[in-house]
Structure 1
Amino acid sequence: MSRPWEGVTRTRLENGIEVLLEPIPGVRSVAAGVWVRQGAAHEAPERMGGSHLLEHMVFKGTERRSAHDIALSLESLGGSLDAYTTRESTGFTARVLDRHLDEALDVLADLVRRPLLRAEDLDLEREVVLEEIAMVDDTPDDLVFELHGERLWAGHPYGHRILGTPDTVRAITADDLRALHAEAYVGRRMIVCVAGHLDPDDVLARVRQLFGDVPAGCEATPVPPAPRLVPGSERVSRPTQQCHVVIGTLGVPHGDVRRLPLVLLATALGGGMSSRLFQQVREKLGLAYAVHTVQSFYRRAGFTGIYLGTRPESEGRAVQAALDELRRAAEHGLPADELARVREQVKGEVILGMESTSGRLHRLAHYALHEEPYRTLDQVLERVDAVDADAVVAAAAEFLPPERQVALSLGP
């Protein structure tokens, strides 16, 4: 079944795989990707990190390619091959010249469909992932988000560590990964997207050839609703030069009408050098080098917050300055001129993000993963312009009061 969106061909294969194709005139490259609805939030606590470990393991060899063959396959053509795991999905992407699209699709299909998942490869790759976990543990501005997430989500799957823990990663076996692959890498949980210089009919035929016989399988088990928010503060001792602080709260799902007001508020508060937090905490008070807002929007819930890094002697003043900005926005929203400015900033970021085939690719996947209706660029910009002051005031009053926040500080 095919259904045209404006400039985009959307097809659902008989096995449930959703295929989205966007021709882009005037480019010589193409970006392609396969997404699987399987991430950290779908894992049992004792199997935490399994989705990410499986993402690593598919690169260790397939029925047709060795690990070295996979590494060479697109790099030797001047292209790139990448993969990542989130809390709700695993993605495999490639970017190549248009004349190499067939090879890129073949490599992607080989990776996601026919990995060997050998025990001897797992013994080695497990060590690589343990090094990755150690790297995060040695990077306090990454670790603080892991710790804050565990505190904020209070046992909910959205608080799972994507990489897992040393104990859970050591406990995962090759049989576990084979079972996960058989369960999750199926048609009803898979999305294929391609954007760039392409002929939709030709590409769709190739996708059918490569993916048409993937077993349909079952859809992913829904993530449970968000937990009850328990505001408060926590300190984790670590011998670092700076204190790393995250202040944040439970937000809204991606499809919630309050998402765009929250995006505009986050842009005003910490979305660049002109933002309130940057100007106050860094430029005026000199209390931090890095200070910015952070947001995540999942299918069932979300997170909105602030990160700042400051020396121990400045921590109290820096945190108070950030909380003061939250309270000011919570009580007054944004004045008309500031709201107009951040609307233009957000619209500009959206437009610039579509200036590459990779940007277009991830936009296609974004709509499919969230099961939201596709919107043209003009429709997206109109939605940003439609966010009025009342919606911003309401979102600020609901989500920004300091009393609603969970604060976690990592440092001496």
Structure 2
Amino acid sequence: MYNLFKLDNGLRVVVENIEYVNSVSVGLWVENGSRNEDINNSGISHFIEHMLFKGTVTRSAKQIAEEIEDVGGQLNAFTGREATCFYVKALDTHLDLSLDILSDMLFNSNLAEEDIEKEKSVIYEEINMSEDSPEDVLSDLHTKAIWDLDSISLPILGTMDTVKSFSRKVILDYIDSYYIPENSVISISGKFDMKNIETLVEKFFGKWRCKNKKITEYSSPLILNKHYFRKKDIEQLHVSLGIPGIELDNEDTYTLILLSNILGGGASSRLFQKIREDLGLCYSIYCYISAFKNTGIVSIYAGINPTNVRVAIEAIKEEVSNFAKVGIDNERLNKAKEQLKGSYILGLESTSSRMFSNGRSVMFLNKINTPEDVLEKINKIDMARVNSVMEKTFKKGIINSAYVGKDKEMLKDVFEGNIISVDK
């Protein structure tokens, strides 16, 4: 059973009661991420995520962790480009504790200067760790190639310089502006008393008020035709190729997911079979979509021996072109729909996955997207819709790319040699 309601302060709450489980997952979602930042405060959302675990006026950092772990629960968080989420999964008997911990972290965090300085060192190491991961470097580099100077291209972790600049006042001002009830969602999935849930959430979050509110609004960035290379002393060349996608809350989202799966979603996909199995040009290759407010991209990732890069990229381009020209037949469409439905349903077999799904849906679409709704959308995919989405996306071909590897010389003939070297 689902319910969606709003507190007087504007906080949206989505709940899903699942009677046959003995757990409950609670998520505090804030529509704020790296896309809300600029070049001067890049990384502040991620930094705040860390700081809210560092102790409150009533609990130390250790007590925050212990109170959840002592009852067998899990407490964690993540920051993305458009949202931050703090979440707890515990036995259904500990819903009150879960809401108490999350509200305490949000409203009563100490944000002590000493802790801020210590956490800067932790984030520096996280940035260093990301720099040691070619895939992470590639992801940030390709984001720049796609959207250039728009805020959506800023790194989630920020930079050493921006993190160094964060002060307690800067952090508090940012929280007061963006961590507001109107930008936020509480998502609860699992076993609980539906009769009392509104009163319970009101108890912990009903007094949430902010003065300097900034309601999140995002730009509509152009998808650019840029190609970037970053030098790293590694054996493989890591490649990310970009095809225009579609924005979040587009009725064609599931059609694009379906087509992306056929092209590069697994071991039976066209790219895997052609580039890896038939030609033996790589070990790993796959395709995935990224959908955001007002923009979206389809990405193809491959890890390639540098000596094979020109042959591999030409083969990938040819496969994408053939896919767009020939399309799929009804038999493949029906199989792909069943695969998509199966993976979607199997992905909802825990209270936490349901909490994430409901939270994202209400946060970005302002509605509950039930499994029945999603399955109906998938069932409605037909050849007319497939062809329409193909026109908007794959038929436009690869228009941007990023590369991380040892030698740019191997790329001299790729994309007419218009590949630009960047340092960071």
**Structure 1: how far apart are the matches of 2:320 and 2:228?**
19
Structure 2: gaps of 5 or more residues = 407-424
Cα offsets for 1:302-336 (capped at 9, x unmatched): 12110010111122222222212211122122222
Aligned to 2:216: 221
Aligned to 1:106: 100
How many residues are paired up?
A: 405
Contact 1:293 1:304 in 2 (8 A): yes
Cα offsets for 1:80-119 (capped at 9, x unmatched): 0010011111100100011111111111111112111111
Q: Superposed, which structure 2 residues align to 1:12-411 within 5 Å?
A: 12-215=6-209, 218-227=213-222, 229-401=223-395, 403-411=397-405
Greater CA drift, 260-269 or 206-215: 260-269
CA apart distance, 1:51: 0.4
Amino acid corresponding to residue 127 of structure 1 in structure 2: S
**Structure 2: how far apart are the matches of 1:33 and 1:344?**
30
Contact 2:244 2:396 in 1 (8 A): no
Amino acid corresponding to residue 87 of structure 2 in structure 1: T
**Structure 2: how far apart are the matches of 1:354 and 1:221?**
28
**Structure 2: how far apart are the matches of 1:398 and 1:371?**
22
Cα offsets for 1:137-167 (capped at 9, x unmatched): 1100121010010111111111111111111
**Structure 1: how far apart are the matches of 2:297 and 2:86?**
25
Percent of aligned positions that are identical:
33
CA apart distance, 1:131: 0.8
TM-score of the pair, normalised by structure 2? 0.92
RMSD: 1.5
Aligned to 2:409: none
Amino acid corresponding to residue 209 of structure 1 in structure 2: K
Amino acid corresponding to residue 310 of structure 1 in structure 2: I
CA apart distance, 1:221: 3.4
Contact 1:330 1:398 in 2 (8 A): no
Greater CA drift, 398-407 or 22-31: 398-407
Aligned to 2:415: none
**Structure 2: how far apart are the matches of 1:185 and 1:339?**
43
Amino acid corresponding to residue 73 of structure 1 in structure 2: E
SS in structure 1 of the partner of residue 360 of structure 2: helix
Contact 1:22 1:196 in 2 (8 A): yes
Amino acid corresponding to residue 217 of structure 2 in structure 1: P
Aligned to 1:4: none
Contact 2:242 2:400 in 1 (8 A): yes
**Structure 1: how far apart are the matches of 2:225 and 2:330?**
31
**Structure 1: how far apart are the matches of 2:322 and 2:160?**
42
Amino acid corresponding to residue 103 of structure 1 in structure 2: L
Contact 1:16 1:216 in 2 (8 A): no
TM-score of the pair, normalised by structure 1? 0.95
**Structure 2: how far apart are the matches of 1:216 and 1:167?**
29
Contact 1:278 1:291 in 2 (8 A): yes
Cα offsets for 1:322-359 (capped at 9, x unmatched): 21221112212222222211111111111111111011
**Structure 2: how far apart are the matches of 1:390 and 1:404?**
23
Cα offsets for 1:241-273 (capped at 9, x unmatched): 100000013422111123222111111011111
**Structure 2: how far apart are the matches of 1:220 and 1:273?**
43
Distance 1:224 1:76, change over 3 A: same
CA apart distance, 1:402: 6.3
**Structure 1: how far apart are the matches of 2:104 and 2:92?**
19
Greater CA drift, 170-179 or 212-221: 212-221
**Structure 1: how far apart are the matches of 2:33 and 2:283?**
33
**Structure 1: how far apart are the matches of 2:246 and 2:147?**
13
CA apart distance, 1:219: 4.9
SS in structure 2 of the partner of residue 60 of structure 1: coil
CA apart distance, 1:182: 1.4
Contact 1:331 1:397 in 2 (8 A): no
Runs (4 or more) in structure 1 with deviation over 3 Å come to 216-219, 401-404
Amino acid corresponding to residue 215 of structure 2 in structure 1: A
Contact 1:193 1:365 in 2 (8 A): yes
